Structure 1
Amino acid sequence: MRFSCILIILLLSSAFVAGQVLDSSQKVDRKYLEDQFYFGFTYNFATNLPSGVSQRNLSYGLQGGFIKDIPISYDRTFGLGIGLGYGINSYYTNLLASQQGTELEYTVLDSDADFRRNKIATHVLELPFQFRWRNSTPQEYKFWRIYTGIKMGYVFDGRSKYVSSTERIVFVNKDIRDFQYGLTLNVGYNTFNIHIYYALSSLFNDGVMVESGEAIEYKPLKVGLIFYIL
């Protein structure tokens, strides 16, 4: 009888100690961070195009970078994200940019014009800032997320490119705005997340116009997928 009581006490003590160890490990795990690296691709829609200008071919964007995750709530469901990234974008339209001495002129190509590609390509150093919500836990790596915020970018290389059956013209386009910014929204579950970016700044500098005198106030709308990695 005495032996049975001692055995029961030992079993209860072991269970209590194991529970305390589990609780302690869970407290350590509460310092986890989320979504440090990202990679994504988008389809770039054209908005606010001048009269007669339309998209051609597949306008696309690629992006990648690092974001520092900063939790701001005890359970880490809310946080901030500040990052640094790199983006490549191509915009295919029938708006032809051509050099005339030191000036640039913009012409709307007819629908029957013979050309293969006509695009503007940009390479951008990006600075995303996000307000983050997610329902993750220290043990759960598949979760819902909603990240919204702004993204600023510095265009360190912007070029116009025209290719036809007889010629190929590529040059640095100084009319492309150096500093650009817009709103972002990332929504998804686990691996696959929808990414939306709407530019608040025009792709071109103020005062850039087509031959008719209409201002070029092209603002990209990017829709695609983004992937996050710890």
Structure 2
Amino acid sequence: MKTLHKNKRLHLFFIHILLLSGFSVYSQQDTTVLKEETTTKIDSLYREDQFFFSFTYNTLQNKPSRMAQNKFSTGFSVGVLRDMPINKERTIAFASGLGLTYNNYIQNLSIQGSSQKALYAILEEQYQTNKISQLFIDLPIEFRWRNSTYQSHKFWRVYGGVKGSYLLYDRTVFDGDSGKSIIKGNKDFNKLLYGVYVAAGYNTINLYAYYGLNPLFASAKIEDKNIQLKALNVGLIFYIL
């Protein structure tokens, strides 16, 4: 009887050990699966989708003779970009987005008359105000490199691309000795501008530069010569996740 009782206890002991071992293995497998699923989920959602805004100092290239910018001309942009990684580490990507840009150019190119028939001249007289203001809707497409990881959003980046801009609103103001002239919707402006840009830096604050590939004006002339002004805007761009 003692032997039978002892065998039963051993039998129950081994069953207990087997059950515990099975539970342990199952728990380890379950934990491993959860870890893999968590890692995969984090990696699959890792994108650098960003809101951005920029401040620029605006200059004009290809200026006619005697034309000059005599005050600080500024610009402001805001928008959003959708990130599309193309490598496993997600350090290389394309991005596209939508934005708005407002630019001012303060200079001595007089624009008077009307929106349908504007007259252009280089100012020799004294004046209080002479500026061009424009509002665009932007469609940027860019190629991206960064050394980011999903654990940290502080990283080095170089983003470069092309941007198409459609003119939504324009206003020119001249206020001088001969009077004040304000023109809106000048038909001589190019409705569609396009250019190249680059942004580079670390973390939130980055240097930014944009160069326009086509002129601001489509048909404006001074003394039968086309005005071929192009934009070169440099400043800072800020990215916010």
TM-score past 0.5 threshold: yes
C-alpha displacement of 1:25: 3.0
1:68 aligns with 2:79: no
- For residue 236 of structure 2, the aligned residue among 220, 225, 228 is 225
Unpaired segments ≥5 residues, structure 2: 1-20
Q: Output aligned runs, 1:102-121, within 5 Å.
A: 102-110=116-124, 113-121=125-133
C-alpha displacement of 1:200: 0.2
1:178 corresponding residue in structure 2: 191
Unpaired segments ≥5 residues, structure 1: 1-8
C-alpha displacement of 1:54: 0.5
User: Which residue type is aligned with residue 113 of structure 2?
Assistant: Q
1:126 corresponding residue in structure 2: 138
**Residues 36 and 228 in structure 1, CA contact (< 8 A), matched pair in contact too:** yes
Q: What SS does structure 2 have at the residue aligned with 1:129?
A: strand
Aligned residue pairs: how many? 216
- For residue 27 of structure 1, the aligned residue among 20, 40, 45 is 40
Measured on the aligned residues, the alpha-carbon RMSD in Å equals 2.4
**Residues 114 and 183 in structure 2, CA contact (< 8 A), matched pair in contact too:** no
- For residue 39 of structure 1, the aligned residue among 35, 45, 53 is 53
- For residue 53 of structure 1, the aligned residue among 67, 83, 104 is 67
C-alpha displacement of 1:143: 0.3
CA–CA distance in 1 between the matches of 2:178 and 2:111?
17
The 1:20–1:166 alpha-carbon spacing in structure 2 relative to 1, beyond 3 Å, is same
1:169 corresponding residue in structure 2: 181
1:85 aligns with 2:96: no
- For residue 165 of structure 2, the aligned residue among 144, 147, 153 is 153
CA–CA distance in 1 between the matches of 2:129 and 2:115?
23
1:213 corresponding residue in structure 2: 224
Q: Deviation digits for residues 33-89 of structure 1, max 9, x if unmatched?
A: 114211111011110000110112111110001111111111111111110111100
CA–CA distance in 2 between the matches of 1:162 and 1:117?
6
The 1:109–1:28 alpha-carbon spacing in structure 2 relative to 1, beyond 3 Å, is same
Instruction: Name the structure with the higher helix share.
Output: 2
Q: Per chain length, whose mean CA-contact separation is higher, i.e. which structure has more relative contact order (CA < 8 Å, sep 6+)?
A: 1
**Residues 112 and 174 in structure 2, CA contact (< 8 A), matched pair in contact too:** no
1:96 corresponding residue in structure 2: 110
Q: Deviation digits for residues 145-195 of structure 1, max 9, x if unmatched?
A: 111110000001112111237743211122111000000101110011011
C-alpha displacement of 1:101: 9.2
| Larger Cα-atom Rg | 2
**Residues 64 and 86 in structure 1, CA contact (< 8 A), matched pair in contact too:** yes
1:189 aligns with 2:202: yes
Q: What SS does structure 1 have at the residue aligned with 2:168?
A: strand
Q: What SS does structure 2 have at the residue aligned with 1:116?
A: strand
C-alpha displacement of 1:116: 1.6
CA–CA distance in 1 between the matches of 2:183 and 2:114?
12
Identity of aligned residues (%): 37
